[in-house]
Amino acid sequence: MLDITITSPILKAGLAVSCCLLAASVPVHAGTDTLSKIRDSRTITIAHREASVPFSYLDDNKKPIGYAMDLCLKIADAVRREVKLDRLNIQYLAVTSSTRIPAIVDGKADLECGSTTNNAERRKQVAFTIPHFIAAVRMVVRADSGIANWADLRGKQVVTTKGTTTMKLLADRDKVRALGLRLLEGRDHAESFAMVEERQAAAFPMDDVLLYGLRAGSPRPEQLVVVGDALSAEPYAIMMRREDPAFKAVVDREMGRIINDGEVYKLYDKWFKHPIPPKNLAMNMPMGHLLRDTFRFPTDKVGD
């Protein structure tokens, strides 16, 4: 039975809580026994994003919610059972793209729950568990365009967002396939997406989860579709400190259980296929074959 007390730094008061906060804020370095720290403080600290929909973001009450957050709450309960506590306080820490890794390395958080890619460079600083999502670069097009894959873009105008890595992926594909693409740049994702809506560009390639989110917020989502073979694949995974095999074993074991027991499919449907708060919009994003294959053979050995 789940028995977790959710706490907030704003609401905490009193000497006992202050002691817990002090214990949780002490820097933790490589080799530290995270499980002992959590047992002694009776607190686990979860780093989260504020606007990474639907993985980790704030609802109308400024509470962290999302697909990755649900997974982390299950992991937190597994940790509680492992250290034999009847209750476990959860402290939340908001992080950004630039502060998420230091938050884990410096011991400010025990888990980072968002949309962080597991790759070789990051594994020099932190550890990752089994991926919970595989992001792929695909493209959004108008449903009546007749475009189904990259070869269908031959000679057409294609927009990408300025400053993103997608431009190189497109240029490489153009060189290999001699597509003769006419590349445009949008100032941001919203402008790039609007150019497809307004027929100023035939396609907008970007991470598929972002495209589905933009499509969900469109006035006429049925007029747009996400198509194309994946140009790249990025495994998103929960992050934790390196050189703490006992803690990582608990996290990996619970992630494996969530996947093998089929709970992950229910969570995926909840956050990617049904209306979600705060705007009650549905992304209507089916699970990709790369993620299905990952769940069939779950492993943290990815991202090289």
**Of 200, 181, 189, 182, nearest to 142 (Cα)?**
200
Give the span between the Cα atoms of 117 and 119, in whole angstroms: 6
136-233, CATH topology level: D-Maltodextrin-Binding Protein; domain 2 (3.40.190)
Give the span between the Cα atoms of 47 and 91, in whole angstroms: 9
| Residue 303 confidence class, pLDDT cut points 50, 70, 90 | low
Give the span between the Cα atoms of 127 and 51, in whole angstroms: 23
Model confidence at 214: pLDDT above 50: yes
Model confidence at 228: pLDDT above 70: yes
pTM summary value: 0.80
Domain coordinates in residue numbering, the chain: 4-132+237-296, 136-233
91 versus 162: which is more confidently predicted?
A: 91
Give the bridge partners for 159, in sequence order.
184
110-152 pLDDT tens trace: 999 999 999 899 999 999 999 999 999 999 999 999 999 999 9
pLDDT value, residue 1: 39
| Span 19-34, average pLDDT | 49
Rounded to a whole number of angstroms, the CA Rg of the chain reads 21
| Long-range pairs of 165-171 with CB within 8 A, sequence gap ≥ 24 | 166/137, 166/205, 166/206, 166/231, 169/137, 169/205, 169/231, 169/232, 170/205, 170/231
Instruction: Specify the CATH number for 4-132+237-296; select among 3.40.190.10, 3.90.740.10, 3.90.1260.10, 3.40.50.620.
Output: 3.40.190.10
| Span 20-24, average pLDDT | 37
Please tell me if the domain spanning 4-132+237-296 has the same topology as the one spanning 136-233.
Answer: yes
**Mean pLDDT in the chain?**
88
Q: Kind and range of the H or E element at 192?
A: helix 189-197
52-73 pLDDT tens trace: 899 999 999 999 999 999 999 9
Sequence-distant (6+) residues with CB within 8 A of 263 are: 74, 257
Structure tokens at 298: 């779950």
